[in-house]
Amino acid sequence: MVVFFENLAEIKNMGQIFSIMILIWIFILTGPILSKDLSGIYKEYVVQDFETEIFGEENVKAKLGPDFTPEVRISTVFRTPERESEKSLYVELTAEKNQSFQILFKKPWSSKEFVKEFKFHVYANDGGGSLFILVRDSSLDQKKILLTHFNFSGWKILSLDITRKVRQDDLVTHQNSELVFLGFLYEAPFERKRGTREVFVIDDILAKTRPKYLLFPSEKALVK
pLDDT in tens, 165-174: 999 887 666 6
pLDDT at 177: 80
pLDDT at 154: 96
CB 96 within 8 A of CB 69: no
Q: Of the given ranges (26-30, 66-70, 100-104, 132-136), which has the lowest mean pLDDT? A: 26-30
The CA radius of gyration of the chain, in Å to the nearest whole number, is 26
pLDDT at 75: 96
CB 74 within 8 A of CB 89: yes
pLDDT higher than threshold 80 for residue 19: no
Spell out the SS3 assignment of 114-176: EEEEEEEEEEEECCCCEEEEEEECCCCCEEEEEEEECCCEEEEEEEEECCCCCCCCCCCCCCC
Q: Of the given ranges (105-109, 142-146, 198-202, 210-214), which has the lowest mean pLDDT? A: 210-214
pLDDT at 224: 40
Architecture of the domain defined by 43-210:
Sandwich (2.60)
Closest CA to 110 of 171, 183, 172, 61: 183
Strands 142-149 and 101-111: unpaired
The domain segmentation of the chain, as residue ranges, is: 43-210
Spell out the residues 6+ positions from residue 103 whose beta carbon is closer than 8 angstroms to its own: 55, 59, 60, 61, 72, 89, 91, 183, 184, 186
pLDDT higher than threshold 50 for residue 16: yes
pLDDT at 22: 62
CB 42 within 8 A of CB 208: yes
pLDDT in tens, 89-145: 999 999 999 899 999 999 999 999 999 999 999 999 999 999 999 999 988 899 999
Q: pTM score, two decimals?
A: 0.76
User: From residue 157, how far is each of 46, 116, 117, 135, 208 by CA, in Å?
Assistant: 15, 16, 13, 20, 14
pLDDT at 140: 87
pLDDT at 41: 84
